[in-house]
Structure 1
Amino acid sequence: MTVPELAAELAALRSPAAVRARSHQVLDHVRAGKSPHFALDEAALDAVADYVAQVTRQDYPALDIPYHSRWRHFDAGGVARWDALKARLGAVGRDDLARLMIDLAVVSVLLDAGAGDAWRYHEEATGLTLGRSEGLAVASLRMFEAGGFSSDPAQPLRADAAALIALDAGTLARHFQVSDANPLVGLSGRVALLNRLGAALAARPDLFGSAPARPGGLYDALVPQARIGRLPAERILSALLDGMSVIWPSGLEVAGVSLGDVGRHPAVRVADLSDQLVPFHKLSQWLTYSLLEPFEAAGLAVTDLDALTALPEYRNGGLLVDLGAIVPRAPVDPAQKQAVSSELVVEWRALTVALMDLLADRVRARLGLDASQFPLAKLLQGGTWTAGRRIAAERRPPAGPPPIAIDADGTVF
C-alpha cells in the first residue's frame, strides 16, 4: 500500500461524517443486543426530551438560545467579562478582533477538560469562586488578559507558538491558583498539551501564519474559502483536525499516523486500516462550536452547523444514562474510574453521539422549532449539557459527578 493510500484511509476518520456514521454502527450493535456493556431503552428518549425541553424553557424562556460554546462560560456568575475586555480594545478592526477571539477560544478550550471536584478559582475582581468548566474558562480568560500566552509583552492579548512552547507547569499553576489544597486534575497534561499546540502552530505556517504563528492565523487561512461570505462549519473542523491532530497525547496512532481522539470498538468492521476505529474529536468539535462566534464577528456566516455532531462527553452521555435511555447491563460504580480507551467508554461515547441525533427532533417538536432554528449547537446549550449536569446533581448530590467516572488526564473530557 502506498503512503497516499494509507493516509487517505486514516484521514477519512478526520471528519464529523465519520464520527456520526461509526457511532451509529455502534448504536446498531447495541440495539442488536450484542453489547456486554449496555442495553438501550429508546422509549426513554421521550422522557429525556421532556426534561431537556423543560430545562431549555427555564433557562431561555424566549427560546433565544445561543450556541454551545466557550463564550458562554466567560459570562459565569452573570459577569460579562468578554464584553468588558472587548470594550477596552478600542477601535480594533474586525479582522484583528477575530484573530484575538480565536487565540482566546483555542487556549481556553484546550484547557477545558474535567477539573475535578476539588479545584476552584477565586476571582479577585468580582469576589466569585468558580469551579469546573466555568472556573477554567474564567481562569484562562484572566491569564490571557495578563499576557500569559503571549511572548511579546507589548502585545499581551494574543496566544503565540513561542509562548505556548515555553509554558511550564509552575506558570499555569500560578495563574490557575493550583496548590496542594486546590488541586487541578491533569495539570501536567494540560501544560504538555499547550506545549504541543505551540509546536503544531509553528509547524504549519500555511494554517497558522508565521509572524508569529498563532491560532488566530486560522482566520486568514479560512477566509479565502468562504464563498460570498459563507463558511461551512466543517471547514473549520477540518482545518483544526489537519493542524492539531498531532497534539493529543492519548490519541491513537496507526501506522505512524496520529489519529487524535479515536477509540476502538468491535462493532465497526471495515477492510482497511481503520477497522474497529471510532473517531470522536470531542475537543476539536467543541473548539469548532467555540469558533463560530469569532468568524461571525468578522461578518462571515457559518453554515451547515448540523454537519457537526453532538459532543461525546460525560454531561451529554450522563444524561442518557441517568434518564434510562442507555442502560448498563451491570451496575456501574460511579467511584470506579474507567479508562478513556476502554470498550465500555468508547461505546458510551458513541451511543451519546448517535442518540443525540435521535433526541434532537424530539426536543425540536416540544419547543416548536425546526432544525435551522435549533441546530445541535443550540440543543447542547439549551439543552442537554445543562440537563446532564442538573440530573447528575439530583441523583448524586452535592457535587453531581457523572454516573460513569472517567480516568481522565485533562485532555479528552
Structure 2
Amino acid sequence: MSAFLLDASTGADWQYCEAETKEVYRRSEGLAVATFRMFCQGIFSSNPDFPWQADFRGLSQLKLETLAAGFQVSRDNPLVGLTGRLELLQRLGNAICQHPLLFGSENQRPGNLAQYLLDSLVSGVKTVDCAKILSAVLTGFGENWPGKYAIGGVNLGEVWRHRALQGENLGDEFVPFHQLSQWLTYSLLEPLQELGLYVVRLDELTGLAGYRNGGLCLDMGLLRAKDSAIFEQKYLPGSEVVVEWRSLTVILLDKIAAAMRYKLDLSATKLPLVKILQGGTWAAGRKIATELRAAGVPPIHIESNGTFFNS
C-alpha cells in the first residue's frame, strides 16, 4: 500500500542505490525498491516485535527526516514532493482508523483489507467481483487520495474537469481516472488468488492512465499533438492537455488489448487487460522513453508535488 502512495513523479535527478546489491534505480523502480527496503526495516510499523507490517501509528507518526533518509534524499539527490509523500502516508494512517470494518478495530493495518474481503464472501463461495475489490479500496482509502472535487461532502478522488464535457447532471464535466485505486486493485488480484479466491469480471476496470502508458501512445505515434509546443511546456495534473492525453490513453489501451488478443488468438479471459498493462504497455513505455529522452522522462512534462500518481 505504501509503495502505491509514494509512486508519484520523482523528478529527473533522483536515484536510489540499494545497499544490498549496489544496484541503482530511478523513478518508479527506485521508489518501489526504496519503499520495500523501508518496510523491511520496520519503518512503517509501530511495534518492534512485528516490524514487517504497516500500521496506523507507524504511518500517522512517520517523520520527514525518516522518510528522507529512507529515500536517500540529499542536496545532490533531490526527490520531488517529499513532503507531499509524507502527508499521504500520515493521512493513510489516520484514514484506516475510520473504517474498522475494513481494517480492523485493533492493530489497524491496510493489509486487513484482505481479511475483510474473505469474511464478506457467502459461505461456500470463493469468487469475488473485481468491482467489489475496487469498491472496498475506494471506500477505505477514498479520503486519503488527493482530490480537488467533492459532491455532497464526499471526496471524488482522482477525477478531473474538462470543459468539452457538458451535461444536465451534476458531475457530467468530470473525467474519472482513479488510477491509484485501480492499480492497487489490480495488484491485489494475485495475493487474493493465493488466498484461495477466484476474482471474476476483470473487464470492469479500465486501463491505467499514467505517463508510461500515455507516453507509449505518443512515442509510438498512436497519438499526435496538434501543436508541438505542447512538449516544450509544463502542465499541472488538472490541465486540459493532461486530462485529454490521459483520457485518450484509456481508450487506446482497450484497442491495444484487442489487437494483441487478435494477434495471439487469445480471449479476454486468457489475456486480460491487467496482464497487458504490466507486462506490455507499461514496460514498453518505460523502455521507449529511456531510448528517446534522458532519464526516461515522459513526452509531456507534468508538475508534481508528490501526491499525483502518474507513473
TM-score grouping bracket, smaller chain normalisation: over 0.9
Counterparts of 1:337-352 in structure 2, within 5 Å, are: 337-352=234-249
* Alpha carbons of structure 1 residues 358 and 147: separation in structure 2 relative to 1, 3 Å: same
| Matching residue within 303, 307, 310 for 1:411 | 307
Write the distance in 1 (CA, Å) between the matches of 2:291 and 2:52: 40
- Deviation string 1:161-190 (CA, Å, 9 cap, x unpaired) is 111110121110111111111111111111
Write the distance in 2 (CA, Å) between the matches of 1:408 and 1:191: 14
Q: Given residue 354 of structure 1, which amino acid in structure 2 is its aligned partner? A: I
| Matching residue within 242, 247, 253 for 1:356 | 253
Task: Tell me the SS of whatever aligns to 1:247.
Answer: coil
- Deviation string 1:27-49 (CA, Å, 9 cap, x unpaired) is xxxxxxxxxxxxxxxxxxxxxxx
Write the distance in 2 (CA, Å) between the matches of 1:299 and 1:350: 35
* Residue equivalent to 1:260: 157
Tell me if structure 2 keeps the 8 A contact 1:332–1:403: no
* Residue equivalent to 1:289: 186
Task: Tell me the SS of whatever aligns to 2:142.
Answer: helix
Q: Does residue 121 of the first structure (1) align with residue 16 of the second (2)? A: yes
Write the distance in 1 (CA, Å) between the matches of 2:230 and 2:77: 25
Tell me if structure 1 keeps the 8 A contact 2:147–2:155: no
| Matching residue within 357, 375, 390 for 2:272 | 375
Write the distance in 1 (CA, Å) between the matches of 2:54 and 2:204: 29
Tell me if structure 2 keeps the 8 A contact 1:109–1:287: yes
| Matching residue within 141, 157, 165 for 1:244 | 141
Tell me if structure 2 keeps the 8 A contact 1:108–1:137: yes
Counterparts of 1:382-393 in structure 2, within 5 Å, are: 382-393=279-290
More helix by share: 1
Q: Where in structure 2 are there 5+ consecutive unaligned residues?
A: none
* Alpha carbons of structure 1 residues 229 and 255: separation in structure 2 relative to 1, 3 Å: closer
Task: Tell me the SS of whatever aligns to 2:88.
Answer: helix
* Residue equivalent to 1:94: none
- Deviation string 1:105-160 (CA, Å, 9 cap, x unpaired) is x1111111222221111111111111111111111111111111111111111111
Counterparts of 1:33-72 in structure 2, within 5 Å, are: none
* Residue equivalent to 2:296: 400
Counterparts of 1:10-409 in structure 2, within 5 Å, are: 106-227=1-122, 228-396=125-293, 398-409=294-305
Write the distance in 1 (CA, Å) between the matches of 2:151 and 2:128: 31
TM-score by length of 1: 0.72
Task: Tell me the SS of whatever aligns to 1:373.
Answer: coil
- Deviation string 1:374-398 (CA, Å, 9 cap, x unpaired) is 11101112211111122222332x3
- Share of identical aligned residues, percent? 50
Tell me if structure 1 keeps the 8 A contact 2:160–2:174: yes
Tell me if structure 1 keeps the 8 A contact 2:9–2:304: yes
Tell me if structure 2 keeps the 8 A contact 1:230–1:301: yes
Q: Following TM superposition, by how much is the alpha carbon of 1:250 offset from its aligned partner in structure 2, in angstroms? A: 4.2
Which structure is richer in relative contact order (CA contacts within 8 A, separation 6 or more)?
1
* Residue equivalent to 1:91: none
Q: Following TM superposition, by how much is the alpha carbon of 1:213 offset from its aligned partner in structure 2, in angstroms? A: 1.0
Write the distance in 1 (CA, Å) between the matches of 2:142 and 2:197: 26
Q: Where in structure 1 are there 5+ consecutive unaligned residues?
A: 1-105
Tell me if structure 2 keeps the 8 A contact 1:332–1:404: no
What is the total number of aligned residue pairs between the two structures? 307
Write the distance in 1 (CA, Å) between the matches of 2:289 and 2:165: 31
Q: Following TM superposition, by how much is the alpha carbon of 1:325 offset from its aligned partner in structure 2, in angstroms? A: 1.9
Q: Given residue 260 of structure 1, which amino acid in structure 2 is its aligned partner? A: G
* Alpha carbons of structure 1 residues 235 and 170: separation in structure 2 relative to 1, 3 Å: same
Write the distance in 2 (CA, Å) between the matches of 1:370 and 1:217: 34
Write the distance in 1 (CA, Å) between the matches of 2:299 and 2:147: 23
Which range moves more in the overlay, 289-298 or 143-152?
289-298
Tell me if structure 1 keeps the 8 A contact 2:147–2:156: no
* Residue equivalent to 1:50: none
Tell me if structure 2 keeps the 8 A contact 1:143–1:149: yes
- Deviation string 1:282-320 (CA, Å, 9 cap, x unpaired) is 011111111112212211112221211110011111111
Provide the aligned C-alpha RMSD in A. Answer: 1.5
* Residue equivalent to 1:87: none
TM-score by length of 2: 0.94
Q: Which runs of 4+ in 1 moved over 4 A?
A: none
Tell me if structure 2 keeps the 8 A contact 1:161–1:213: yes
